[in-house]
Structure 1
Amino acid sequence: MTTDRIGRGAIPALKETTVDGARLRYAEAGTGDPVVLLHGWPESHRAWQHQIGPLSSRRRVLAPDWLGWGESARDTALSCDYDSEVDRIARMFDALGVDRVDLACHDYGGFLGLGFVQRHPDRVRRLAILNSRAHRTFTPPYRLLFGAFTVGSRHRPTRRLLATPPVYLVHRIGLARYLRNGSFDREKLARYLDVLRTPGGRRWYTHFWAGYEVRIRPELGARLPEITCPTTIVWGTHDPAIPLRTAEELAARIPAAELIRVDADHFLMEERPDEVTAALLRWLDRPAPN
């Protein structure tokens, strides 16, 4: 069942389904061919708050909380390694009752989405990637930071440290630049970091990082020329964690890809919502094979 479109900035009541035995919550609006919006770290469907309404005027929009984030289940029995997460997208599509979609994905969602379109090209009609490490990795300071999270989560003494209450405050301070630039307000940032406010949430968080890898994945880069669906790269050019070079490589190596630069930081959908919405509406206008 689909729902009517909603107003700009509004978020419909969440629905739920089951993926890999765990509860997955998602926002849905509009009718027609499906568009799936995959968020990144540490966000939820709310990352797309300003885009869901306008896109729902043309499509059936589905914005899930990826398992472990937002209001979806945090099940430490589920593996968070890259291959498991990418394969989980296909099972999510099945649970949502969609076959072939327009797929827009940001940050961690783009990292997974790139692997998915390479494995399942028949299931992606159009692809949009927004400020994602994609086939590469982070700038050196962020590579060291996230690498410390992964290494720390794999060893018992440091894993216990990462699961203590102060980790919430550390992240709140670390993301303060996005309060200053207007990407988030305090309430929204608190929602994103709610996972770190309970013992169970922190246990899942260390589980996530234990399965994550910051290394470059050369196999993803090698297969970029195989992506034949209409692809748009939308990029905030002031991202301190992911260089513009990544976007330029994606645009150069994916056939017929276009690059749209936005005067924004990493969380561009929230910092520059009108520009990102316009870019995605233009993306949906790109002709795609039936």
Structure 2
Amino acid sequence: MTAPSDLRFFPSADGDLAYLDTGTGDPVVLLHSGFADHRVFDAQIPALAAEHRVIAPDVRGHGASANATGPFRWADDLAGLLRHLDAGPAVLVGVSMGGAIATDTVLEYPELVRAVVVCGAATSDFQYTDPWVRRVQAEQAAALGTGDVEGWLTAFLRHVPGKHRTAAEVDPDILGRLREMVLGTLAKHTPDEEDHHVPMTDTWVRVPGIGVPVLAVNGALDAPDLIAEAERLAGAVRDGRSLIIDGTAHYPNLERPEELNKILLDFLRSLRSR
């Protein structure tokens, strides 16, 4: 995993935001899933950095980045970082929450984005309708309401195998690594803390205007409604396509890293001829 000394810090208007910056070449930004941090891409960073400059931030309120003390938007934070690093236009690769950040950013700051890859994500307007996911989310909310961190974490980690598998069918090292990251982020917050994140709305109206290539990658075992929304995103833009990775659910970056790395590298190489 990344050593703390490898991280750098961007002094935003509301605290320091941590990021990893390694490799040389065209910039690729890796945007992590909710409650985790940049280390969810430990298997992707060296593979991509062999040919590209890889920037992997900790989203505000996650990992080593500052918590928000006032209203903020994901896209604004990322745009500030890219401008600070003179790293645009960049290819944005996001998993789950990170995919929503990538979509928000290309909608708000198209001049900073070369292409987008969303993995287990669509736009930030998405809300699950799948009954299994809704039950798990209800378990998380109930545990959070009583301050039961272990109960919340147990429910959260059920998203790794998904509804078609049990935790015993997932590499325990993956669950352990994700658990460590999530606990680190949870420790930064309190149950009664105000949520300062300002969500974007009406994103789907603007999606057809996205003018850069978009690739949607989903685990075959992920929630069907999320897969459908990701495919809808790829179908709504001028240059979009979608792929499915078998044998994984919401985190192909953790469960199928070699397959995802090949997909990403092939996509990045294809951009050179466009």
TM-score grouping bracket, smaller chain normalisation: 0.7 to 0.9
The yes-or-no answer on 1:271 pairing with 2:263 is: no
Q: Distance in 1 between matches of 2:42 and 2:51?
A: 16
Q: Distance in 2 between matches of 1:164 and 1:137?
A: 24
Per the alignment, in what secondary structure is the counterpart of residue 174 of structure 2? Answer: coil
Please show how residues 80-229 of structure 1 align to structure 2 within 5 Å.
80=72, 84-134=73-123, 135-141=125-131, 142=133, 162=144, 165-166=147-148, 168-177=149-158, 178=160, 180=168, 181-182=170-171, 184-197=174-187, 201-203=189-191, 206-208=193-195, 211=197, 217=201, 219-229=202-212
**Percent identity, aligned pairs only?**
25
Residue aligning to 2:163: none
Change (3 A) 1:102 1:211: closer
Q: Distance in 2 between matches of 1:30 and 1:230?
A: 23
Task: Report the alpha carbon displacement of residue 174 of structure 1 after superposing the two structures with TM.
Answer: 0.8
Change (3 A) 1:289 1:93: farther
Farther off after superposition, 105-114 or 273-282? 105-114
Per the alignment, in what secondary structure is the counterpart of residue 201 of structure 1? Answer: coil
**Aligned to 2:215, which of 216, 232, 238?**
232
Query: 5+ residue gaps in structure 2?
Result: 161-166
1:211-236 CA-to-partner distances (Å, cap 9, x unmatched) read: 466xx94x221222211212211111
Residue aligning to 1:78: 70
Query: 5+ residue gaps in structure 1?
Result: 1-9, 153-157
**Aligned to 1:254, which of 223, 228, 237?**
237
Per the alignment, in what secondary structure is the counterpart of residue 170 of structure 1? Answer: helix
Q: Distance in 2 between matches of 1:234 and 1:189?
A: 23
Farther off after superposition, 93-102 or 52-61? 93-102
Give TM-score, length-normalised by structure 1.
Answer: 0.78
Per the alignment, in what secondary structure is the counterpart of residue 184 of structure 1? Answer: helix
Task: Count the aligned residue pairs.
Answer: 260
Q: Distance in 1 between matches of 2:219 and 2:271?
A: 25
Change (3 A) 1:144 1:92: farther
Give TM-score, length-normalised by structure 2.
Answer: 0.83
Q: Please, what is the CA RMSD of the aligned residues?
A: 2.9
Per the alignment, in what secondary structure is the counterpart of residue 37 of structure 1? Answer: strand
Q: Is the 8 Å Cα contact of residues 139 and 152 (structure 2) preserved in structure 1?
A: no
Task: Report the alpha carbon displacement of residue 118 of structure 1 after superposing the two structures with TM.
Answer: 1.5
